Structure 1
Amino acid sequence: MVRLSNCIAALINVVIILIAVVLIGTSMVFYKGHGSATECERFLQKPLLAIGIFLFVLSILGLGGATCRFQWMLWIHLFVMFLLIIVLTAFTVFVIVVTNSGVGRAVSGRGFKEYRLGDYNDWLQKNVINDDNWIQIRSCLIDTRACRHLQVPVSGQTLQQFININLTPVESGCCKPPIYCELDFKNATFWTMPKTGPAVPDEDCVTWNNDPKKLCFDCKSCKAGVLSGIKKEWKIIAIINSCFIGFVIIFYSIGCCALRANRVGRYHKYRP
């Protein structure tokens, strides 16, 4: 039993070390390719590196404690694991709270929803899509060509045909002006301002630009569309986090067994 708990702990730590190496390697690829890397890749580089280093150091401590029976390593390893359980649980609860509001507004006769920034949690607005972050998010949308499906012209397409298309939140918010502006439709990503001006005095109506690199990327509706996508992704993260917390708790328990096994082993070793 003593060896079993140590072997299981060592095996899990080896697997985590391999995962950490992959994360660190991936972040280095993004860093070395900074000249050709997209803004999305550069945005991911630092978090991947931080997570990779954290997992690597944590697993080295666990591996040293399990295989070499260094008690101080196991104590540090288990203490960090305990803090990790608390942080992950708090983060999961937080994600559920901040993503509890905000939905797209369905309009009769349209195949897509439209999104309003004011419908989303204030924390998300102030911290996720603030001016500094939006510069990177906007560049990411352009780099990944978020509107590429709509930029392929459809011969003879009418406004009625267009509004029956099923659009993603980003396509609805960033790749076209809000329909309530009632701009003149030419094609999916080309709209002109009527001589009488927009139908409503909305900032997004005058922000729209037919330049493929501008479109509605600076519109509030675009930020709302991005938040809609983030909300869905964060809910998935909350579910994954819940499963991961269960894994960490099991791993923590195995570590506790290894710590106890080391104590028993040392006791029998020095017992006269």
Structure 2
Amino acid sequence: MALSNNVIGAINCLAMLLSIPIIGTGIWLANQAENSCVSVLQWPVIVIGVGILIVGIIGIVGGFWRVAPLLIVYLIGMLVMIILLGALVVFVFMVTTRGSGHPVPSRVYLEYHLEDFSGFLRHRVHGPFKWARIKACLSSTDICAELNQTYHMAQDFFNAPLSPVESGCCKPPTECGYTFINPTYWISPINTAADIDCLAWNNDQSELCYSCDSCKAGLLASLRKTWRKANVILIITLIALICVYLIGCCAFRNAKTEEIFRRYKQGYT
């Protein structure tokens, strides 16, 4: 029984360690410069990671110190955490299936349309109050200003692999026909009726296209890209956690069986 308890405790240590990549993923999401303006995914990830950490500690105590009630709490609690993590993984996958960029003639960078994204993501930037806060956050960064230091010629800029936020927020849509002066200063639009964002563009460096739907779409494209990367880590961790949990269930069952046989033998001696 002692050996079985030690095995269970060691397995629970692995479960506790698997909380580290989950918590780390949440912290990584919170520290992404462009995505820090929309605090959505990082907190559920961190909360689940901390929950797994706490449940793992309970399992370690129950395993090494042979406290059966704590092991039962561990088994139930870890099952709940696995279900929550699995639900989060599926949710992230579903809301990020849409939202790829569109190629533009004679340009390397892509442009993004708000209607391409899932309703959940669009809701994150919908409404004047929400976007006013996000806009203030984006405009306070150096995302667009850094483009002026990097690209001085129009062709160099057109051949640049811009990030979604740079493409959506720092320049007007290509179909408007603006003339390039520098990455954040454009004049003489040819077709202001091509897109509502054509009239929203402003050469004021604190405005630019931060009020454009293309900026909202660019931010969502950046969120989508980051969330999909995070989801890969969560999926791998979820699979490992399920394997550890199943092994722990088997070890706990074997330990209980061993205890029953030991008591049975003692009853006949």
The two structures have a TM-score, normalised by structure 1, of: 0.76
Q: Quick check: 2:111–2:173 contact (8 Å CA) kept in 1?
A: yes
2:103 to 75, 90, 106: 106
Instruction: Please give the alpha-carbon distance, in whole angstroms, between the structure 1 residues aligned to 2:231 and 2:44.
Output: 18
1:263 to 251, 256, 260: 256
Using a 3 Å threshold, how does the CA distance of structure 1 residues 232 and 49 change in structure 2: closer, same or farther? Answer: closer
Deviation at 1:10, TM superposition (A): 4.3
Name the counterpart of 2:206: 213
Q: Quick check: 1:10–1:67 contact (8 Å CA) kept in 2?
A: no
Deviation at 1:193, TM superposition (A): 5.3
Instruction: Please give the alpha-carbon distance, in whole angstroms, between the structure 2 residues aligned to 1:252 and 1:117.
Output: 41
Instruction: Please give the alpha-carbon distance, in whole angstroms, between the structure 1 residues aligned to 2:43 and 2:133.
Output: 14
Name the counterpart of 1:117: 114
Using a 3 Å threshold, how does the CA distance of structure 1 residues 251 and 206 change in structure 2: closer, same or farther? Answer: same
Q: Quick check: 1:66–1:258 contact (8 Å CA) kept in 2?
A: no
Aligned residues: 255
1:171 aligns with 2:166: yes
Name the counterpart of 1:230: 223
Instruction: Please give the alpha-carbon distance, in whole angstroms, between the structure 1 residues aligned to 2:16 and 2:113.
Output: 47
Deviation at 1:185, TM superposition (A): 2.6
Instruction: Please give the alpha-carbon distance, in whole angstroms, between the structure 1 residues aligned to 2:35 and 2:224.
Output: 21
Alignment deviations for residues 30-55 of structure 1 (CA, whole Å, 9 cap, x no partner): 9xxxxxxx993995985576345423
Alignment deviations for residues 123-179 of structure 1 (CA, whole Å, 9 cap, x no partner): 2212x3234654554344345422243132755x24x44323221211110111112
Structure 2: unaligned runs, 5 residues or longer:
none
Q: Supply the AA of the counterpart residue of 2:240.
A: F
Higher deviation after alignment, 233-242 or 72-81: 233-242
Name the counterpart of 1:74: 71
The residue matched to 2:148 in structure 1 has which SS?
Answer: coil
Seq. identity, %: 33
The residue matched to 1:191 in structure 2 has which SS?
Answer: strand
The two structures have a TM-score, normalised by structure 2, of: 0.77
The residue matched to 2:180 in structure 1 has which SS?
Answer: strand
Instruction: Please give the alpha-carbon distance, in whole angstroms, between the structure 2 residues aligned to 1:79 and 1:233.
Output: 32
Name the counterpart of 1:34: none
Deviation at 1:107, TM superposition (A): 1.9
Using a 3 Å threshold, how does the CA distance of structure 1 residues 248 and 223 change in structure 2: closer, same or farther? Answer: same
Instruction: Please give the alpha-carbon distance, in whole angstroms, between the structure 2 residues aligned to 1:217 and 1:41.
Output: 13
Alignment deviations for residues 100-132 of structure 1 (CA, whole Å, 9 cap, x no partner): 222211122111111111122222212x32346
Alignment deviations for residues 181-214 of structure 1 (CA, whole Å, 9 cap, x no partner): 22343211112355xx853253322222333333
Q: Quick check: 1:39–1:136 contact (8 Å CA) kept in 2?
A: no
